[in-house]
Amino acid sequence: MGRSDVFDEFGQLSIGQKSLVVFVLIVFATSAIEIVSEFFAGGSLISMWDDVLWFALSAALVLFYLHQRRLSLREIHQLRAALENARGKLVKLDSSSSEITNQYRAVMQKQFDHWKLSASEQDVVIGILKGLSFREIAGLRETREKTVRQQASSVYRKAGVSSRNELTAWFFEDLLVPPSTKTETIE
C-alpha cells in the first residue's frame, strides 16, 4: 500500500475514526520515544512498565485496526466480484428476455393477424393485457372511451371470447400452467 493509498484511506474515515487513529498513533509514538529515551538514560524495562504497557496496548490496537481493515478490503473485493458477476448475469438475462419478448410479440402478432384485428384493435388488446382501463386506453390513444369499448367488443367477437378476462387468459393461460409434478410412491 503506497503513501497516497494510506492518505486516501485515512480521508475516507469518519471524524471519530480519524480521531481514534490519531490518538492511538500518538500514544504509540510517545510511548516508543519514552521507552527509547529512558532506556538510553539507563532505565530498566521494569521501571518503564507503564510506557511498555501503553506501547503494547497501542501496538495491539494498531494491529487490530490493520487486521480489520484488511478483512474489510477483502470483503469489499468479494462484493465487487459478486456485483460484476451479477451484472454479467443480468446482461445475459436482458438479452435472453429481450429475445423471449420478441418471440412472444411475434406469436401475439400471428394471433392478431389470424383474428384479422386492425391496428387500433391491436392497441386496445395490448392495453387490456397491460391491465389498463378503457378510459386509460382512450387517453393513451387520444380517442373517446366509447370508441375503445366498441373496439374491445369487436376484438372479443373476433377472438371468440366474452370479456377482457377471457381475452387476457387466452394470451397467458399457457404461460401459467404449472410444471408437471412427479407422482411419488409412498412406502
What is the average pLDDT across 153-160?
Answer: 96
Q: Are 29 and 86 members of one domain?
A: yes
Domain total in the chain: 2
Structural domain harbouring 120: 116-176
How many CB atoms are located within 10 Å of the residue 51 CB? 21
Within a domain: 106 = no
Q: Are 85 and 151 members of one domain?
A: no
167 within 8 A of 161, measured Cβ to Cβ: yes
Q: Are 15 and 84 members of one domain?
A: yes
Within a domain: 186 = no
pTM of the model as a whole = 0.47
Q: Are 75 and 120 members of one domain?
A: no
Q: In whole angstroms, give the CA distance from residue 131 to residue 125.
A: 10
Q: In whole angstroms, give the CA distance from residue 55 to residue 48.
A: 10
Location of C-alpha cell 423471449: 100
Within a domain: 110 = no
42 to 26, 34, 36, 53, 79: CA distances (angstroms): 24, 12, 10, 19, 53
Within a domain: 101 = no
Sign of CA dihedral 147, 149, 150, 155: positive
Question: What's the pLDDT at 177?
Answer: 66
Judge whether residue 84 has pLDDT over 60: yes
Within a domain: 97 = no
**Which pLDDT band, with edges at 50, 70 and 90, does 1 fall under?**
low
- Of 171, 160, 158, the residue nearest 128 (C-alpha): 171
What is the average pLDDT across 33-60?
Answer: 82
**Which pLDDT band, with edges at 50, 70 and 90, does 10 fall under?**
low
Q: What is the largest CA-CA distance in the chain?
A: 108
Question: What's the pLDDT at 24?
Answer: 81
